[in-house]
Structure 1
């Protein structure tokens, strides 16, 4: 229990962090122990819980505080493990204090609230699938390093942002490498009836065309990225180097 500084320490805010399966109800309850009410003046019977030694002398309706959508007491919520096709039940409904569990934004600002194949309105903290989605949204590419969210600082995020850009550029160059380049020989003996001069017979040229796979574009990109990593902070450089190594080990020789 912690006094609310905004009301001169008169209100007591009880915040529940209980995440048991059966937990429902308000996330935040404001109790004003100093408020003088008619019930107090008449000295009504006090409610005492002997097990937790809690005495309740006054209660009032809780103020609606910011909360995750699944914890909303105004709109009902149905929990599913990984439903992303469409909103489940009334999960798409929200009050003005509902937050998206994935984006950490107000539900009204979430661009994927009801988007098919995403449906953030169905996200909740009892699902491993949605927890992984949240971790990826908060940690980005750094999720591959199994870092705790509290350990991710500005240097690690900077290295992660540079790594994401590198992965995108590397994907383009690697796809070019896989497709290869078609190279026609300039000199060849024409085997057709027309007996055209070397290089002028389209039929012979197409039959002798070779596909050449050049890794030079990928090599140049990787070299620039590794050189850039050496100029960054140690944490950012570690993320960049480990991420680049992981991507390169997945490359294959298309000729084989």
Structure 2
């Protein structure tokens, strides 16, 4: 066995490398490759082109603009070219900064119905309770502006710019305007201290019936206050003809007496109470409580003069306590048997306690 000298081994290695890597390519040790590896910044800015064919020829422009042949090279380093300003502007117009969104179409948003104070087209000036005249540009509206009080299109609001009312100044940050809105939307139910969200179909139905009853009751009560002029019974005629009582026009005109009969009012209230008993519990409670408050306000112009001479339906001082007894008896039964919500139950009780009772109804004070 023969051993080669170090010089012979190096010569043999160079010959083998020349056979494995033609065209004079140099073999670089791996530790030298690590040292020569480009930095991250250089790696991002450098493009490496690898040719599969040793005979490929690539023209690489240098700084002087002259092409440099790369025939025989397997690896080519190419510096990236900067984008033109036109390409950059085009990218900025179509793509966002992160490149995740491309704008293809743009349309103006549709304006939804809104209260006047929320309008984005016309400015709005807020005050607590100014009703004298429109403030600033509060009277200006768009097609979708709604009246905060009436809850309908501002163009259809009859009180939009009415002096001392001015719904155009209304907004939801004022306690005054909130109370006005509740009163307008809740109607008679606002007297029960009910919130708008607490009102359901039954309560609104009872409120509608109560409002109609109050109008009819007002007509009947005003007629009662007018009274009826009558000749006192048994009045004798002092004229020469000696006509029977009530037939002498002279004596009757001098001795006529005004009689106040509550009968028509009593009949109207009785029919309303009969109707309430046929309604749902919530509607009936509203109707009964509302009727109680209305008749408690009635006054007897005759005081004690005709109390003994009229029947129990014709005398207010007798008829009203009778109606109150019927109302309170029915209400007590309903509050016990009907499953009213706790808040509604308490508001019904508070409403009854808020009624100012006349002297002839003091017996119902602790009911």
**Residues paired across the two proteins, number:** 204
Specify the SS of the correspondent of 1:211: strand
Give structure 1 stretches of 5+ with no counterpart. Answer: 1-36, 45-59
How far apart are 1:196 and its partner, in Å?
4.4
TM-score (norm 2): 0.50
In 2 relative to 1, CA 78–195 (structure 1 residues): closer, same or farther, beyond 3 Å? farther
C-alpha offsets along residues 56-80 of structure 1, whole Å, 9 cap, x if unaligned? xxxx976533221122232222323
Larger Rg: 2
Maintained 8 Å contact 2:134/2:161: yes
TM-score, scaled relative to structure 1: 0.71
Q: Deviations over 1:114-138 (max 9, x none)?
A: 2334321121122222111111122
Once the two structures are superposed, residues 74-116 of structure 1 have per-residue CA deviations (whole angstroms, 9 ceiling, x without a partner) of 2222323333343233221111121100111111122221233
Aligned partner of 2:284 among 222, 237, 242: 237
The runs of 5 or more residues in structure 2 that have no matched partner are 1-90, 99-106, 304-367
**Which residue in 1 is equivalent to 2:242?**
197
TM-superposed CA distance for 1:212, in Å, is 0.5
Find out whether 1:165 has 2:218 as its counterpart: no
Task: Describe the SS at the equivalent of 1:92.
Answer: coil
Deviation at 1:244, TM superposition (A): 0.8
- Distance in 1 of aligned mates of 2:93 and 2:273: 72
What is the alpha-carbon distance in structure 1 between the residues aligned to residue 204 and residue 96 of structure 2?
A: 60
> Which structure carries more helix by proportion?
2
Q: 1:42 to 1:139 in 2, by over 3 A?
A: closer
User: What does 1:1-256 correspond to in 2, within 5 Å?
Assistant: 38=92, 41=95, 43=97, 64-185=111-232, 188-191=235-238, 195-198=240-243, 199=246, 201-256=248-303
SS in 2 for 1:162: helix
Cα distance in 2 for residues equivalent to 1:184 and 1:38: 102
Shift of 1:226: 0.6
RMSD of aligned C-alpha atoms?
Answer: 2.6
